[in-house]
Amino acid sequence: MFRASIFEFRVLPKFMPSTKDLRRRIKSVRSTRQITKAMELVAAAKMRKAQLQAVATRAYTSLVREMIRNLRGRADFRIHRLLRKPQTVRSVGVILLTSNRGLIGGFNNNLVGAALNYVKSEQGKGFEFITIGRKGAMTVRQRGFTLAAEFEKKDIAAGPAEILPLSRLVTDDFVNGRYDRVVLVYMEFLSTLRQEPRVLELLPLSQRLEQAALWEEEPLTLPTTDFLFEPSADLVLEKLLPRVVEMNLYQALLETNAAEHSARMVAMKNASDAAQDLIRELTLDYNQIRQAGITKEISEIVAGQLAINH
């Protein structure tokens, strides 16, 4: 808004604003920059905490992988409910993770776009959405999709217990036949400047469960251990499978939180830089107008003095 006004003033000097108007605009932009700078610092602090949380879960995941590798060959993976793939997929539950607030660039649009692209690619199926984050719930309602459930999202996840209600809901609905498939749409945190939306088939779980983790890094190198499972390997696997679903949901939440705070930090930094550039341009215009006024006054004094002398 200010840039367009400055351009107009420069092209049409007769509409040049007064120094009072420019002072008011400079003050307004400085106040805006203070807000965006504060939001940038808050987002940076939250991003660091979210990153630490995401990294802290990887040792647990590596241990789960090791246990599943030891279960292979001892348990019958075909009999477990969360591993069964239906012959025909008629209904799909889509878990969509978004933010609660805006001022974050294209973060939410990218997530919603990934979800909609998946829906378009699976034509002929019934879809129900389960959302975490107010932006996702609002978009689902606006586009006329069925919103089966809406969960509150916190900026910083307190612990895995936060996703237990969601995990139990989707596993129960999958086992009871409400959904033939459950997919998870989340934002993967790759770096401070790079985040990418991902679509993960959460249920049924792949029979290669050791590859079901959400991140691409290599697991921790652990010594091969020969476990003794009691009372049976099948019972241990039956108890372990819901933990795998919880682990994937929790990791997706951590990834999305880290990506959200990173995107907001970058967006607020760009806004702060743009405000600083605008302040610089407005200050230059203010000084030019002020100097022109001073020059005009001096010229009038000199002209008046010359008229008196003659």
Which is nearest to 36 in space by CA: 279, 278, 275?
275
Bridge partners (DSSP) of residue 92 are 127, 181
Q: Which long-range contacts (CB under 8 A, 24 or more apart) does 36-39 make?
A: 36/268, 36/271, 36/272, 36/275, 37/268, 37/272, 39/103, 39/264, 39/268
Please give the C-alpha separations between residue 119 and each of 48, 99, 115, 204, 282, in angstroms, as whole numbers. 34, 21, 6, 18, 48
Average pLDDT, the chain: 79
| pLDDT value of residue 213 | 45
Give the Cα separation of 34 and 256 in Å (integer). Answer: 27
- Return phi, psi of residue 18, to 5°: -85, 165
Domain positions in the chain are 48-214+222-264
Q: What is the mean pLDDT of residues 120-125?
A: 86
pLDDT tens for 147-203 read 999 998 887 776 788 888 999 999 999 988 899 999 999 998 888 788 889 998 888
The CATH superfamily assigned to 48-214+222-264 is ATP synthase, F1 complex, gamma subunit (3.40.1380.10)
Q: What is the mean pLDDT of residues 235-262?
A: 85
Query: Which helix or strand (DSSP H or E) is residue 151 part of?
Result: strand 146-151
Strands (E) across 152-193 are located at 181-191
The residue ranking higher by pLDDT, 233 or 259, is: 259
pTM: 0.76
pLDDT tens for 37-91 read 888 888 888 888 888 887 777 677 767 767 777 776 676 666 778 877 888 888 9
